[in-house]
Chain A
Amino acid sequence: MVNRKTAKFLSFRYTILAIIFVVLAGGLVLLPKYEKHEGINPEELLSNSVSPERYISTDALANKIISQDPSFILIDVRGEDEFSKYSLPNAINIPLKNLLDEDSLMYLNQNQYDVVLFSNDNFYADQAWILGNRLSFQNLKVLKGGINNWYKTIINPPIPTETMPAQEFDLYTFRKSASMFFGVVYPEQIKEVKKPVVKKVIPKKVIPIKKKKKMPVEGGC
């Protein structure tokens, strides 16, 4: 059996447990605080940033735009003046310096749409991507090569030489049709268009019809 001393000690067991609780909870208050690392951890950021999945190619993007895929938002991170000169259709302009404004976070910090960031090259878009990823925003992607590459591949696609494989020609046809979608006009397109024959407009002769005399009102309601 328990001897008297232990019994005496055990009669205080709940008080002792209560004191342990208070000490532990008080310890939490008194512990020195340190700044915690917020957002995703460095290893994860590294593995995200070396992953090729974070890029979207211009062809894939063109395909998405043409097929009217509703699942993504285009964000132009260049300055306002560049944005007003040329940008991709339906792009939203968030200059890099305004990236963390409240209005822009609405677009970036959500998980319903894919966000495609782009600038002239990948450079600024990449910076925006890193910042976003650091804050653990989801679904950010960078347009590979940016607007310059968009111009080189989609708007003005290089014509493949005859020795190139068939895929290149397929790609070229896709790009060419894509560029037509975005408003590029090719010379052969123009040739096909016949000049509309302008017919001489013969002025219609107006034959005035004399108004009949007013008829007496028939019936009435």
Chain B
Amino acid sequence: MGPLIPNGVIPYEWNNIIAILIGIFFGFILEASGFSSSRKLAGVFYGYDFAVLKVFFTAALVALIGILYMDYLGYLNMEQLYIHPTYLWGAIIGGVVMGVGFVAAGFCPGTSLCAVAIGKIDAIVYVIGIMAGIFIFSELYTLFEPIYNGYFEGNITLMDSLGVNRYWFAFIFTIIAIVAFAASDMIRKRVKKIFY
């Protein structure tokens, strides 16, 4: 049956409309749960607020377990899902650059746009920074191209590269997540309370 759009359950033309609707809800919930505040986002690096870690880890888990169940029950064909291609070094270097930007500015690209929407000046500066970064990357594209297009590993998942049964992987991942949640709670209790 699923995925709904490729299998024609929902007409293809709805694609963008649904994307916009999901985007609006996503932005709304990010803002509602305080993710448009750079202090809250940066808290995960300074140890006084682990909401980011918990939220994104939980989201990944819910999606992972949900998809595996839906696939098992035949509501969703997992082979039709899009798997992001892995360009190993591009991903590592890009991840480091993005991580530095995240610590320095306290936003990730999604939440920064969310904060721009409510008029935060630091977020506006951040988005201008993103644009500058994109501009520099595009201008120097020929220089970066071997990394950008190289080290291609195909559309692999962690289950492929580790060679673990996917159900066991989901289980181990859940345990890791819960341990991480407990540990982050313990750290938060030790760190001096910051009012923000």
Contact of A31 among B167, B173, B178, B181 (CB under 8 A): B167
Does residue B175 face the partner (Cβ distance < 8 Å to A)?
yes
Does residue A26 face the partner (Cβ distance < 8 Å to B)?
yes
Does residue A201 face the partner (Cβ distance < 8 Å to B)?
no
7 smallest CB-CB distances across A and B, nearest first, come from A25-B174, A28-B167, A25-B171, A29-B167, A18-B178, A29-B171, A25-B170
Classify the interface of chain A: helix, strand, loop or mixed.
Answer: helix
Does residue B82 face the partner (Cβ distance < 8 Å to A)?
no
Q: Given A28-B171, A29-B167, A29-B171, are A21 and B69 also a contact pair (CB < 8 Å)?
A: no
Does residue B61 face the partner (Cβ distance < 8 Å to A)?
yes
Does residue A22 face the partner (Cβ distance < 8 Å to B)?
yes
B residues with a Cβ closer than 8 A to A are 61, 65, 68-69, 72, 167-168, 170-171, 173-175, 177-178, 181
Contact of A18 among B68, B171, B181 (CB under 8 A): B181
Chain A residues within 8 Å of B170, by CB = 25, 28-29
For the complex, give the distance between the alpha carbons of A29 and B99 in Å. Answer: 34
Interface string of A160-202 (1 = CB under 8 A from B): 0000000000000000000000000000000000000000000
Minimum CB–CB distance for A48 against chain B, Å? 16
Does residue A159 face the partner (Cβ distance < 8 Å to B)?
no
Chain B residues within 8 Å of A21, by CB = 61, 65, 174, 177-178
Does residue A66 face the partner (Cβ distance < 8 Å to B)?
no
**B167-A22 in contact (CB<8A):** no
Q: Given A28-B167, A29-B167, A29-B168, are A22 and B65 also a contact pair (CB < 8 Å)?
A: no
Does residue A24 face the partner (Cβ distance < 8 Å to B)?
yes
Minimum CB–CB distance for A3 against chain B, Å? 26
Chain B residues within 8 Å of A14, by CB = 181
Chain A residues within 8 Å of B177, by CB = 21
**B72-A22 in contact (CB<8A):** no
| Given A14-B181, A24-B69, 7 further pairs, Cβ under 8 A | A21-B65, A22-B175, A24-B65, A24-B174, A25-B171, A28-B69, A28-B167
Among A14, A22, A29, which residue has the most Cβ atoms of chain B within 10 A?
A: A29
Interface string of A2-45 (1 = CB under 8 A from B): 00000000000010001001101110110100000000000000
Minimum CB–CB distance for A111 against chain B, Å? 14
26 interchain pairs, CB-CB under 8 A = A18-B178, A18-B181, A21-B61, A21-B65, A21-B174, A21-B178, A22-B175, A22-B178, A24-B65, A24-B69, A25-B61, A25-B65, A25-B170, A25-B171, A26-B171, A28-B68, A28-B72, A28-B167, A28-B170, A28-B171, A29-B167, A29-B168, A29-B170, A29-B171, A31-B72, A31-B167
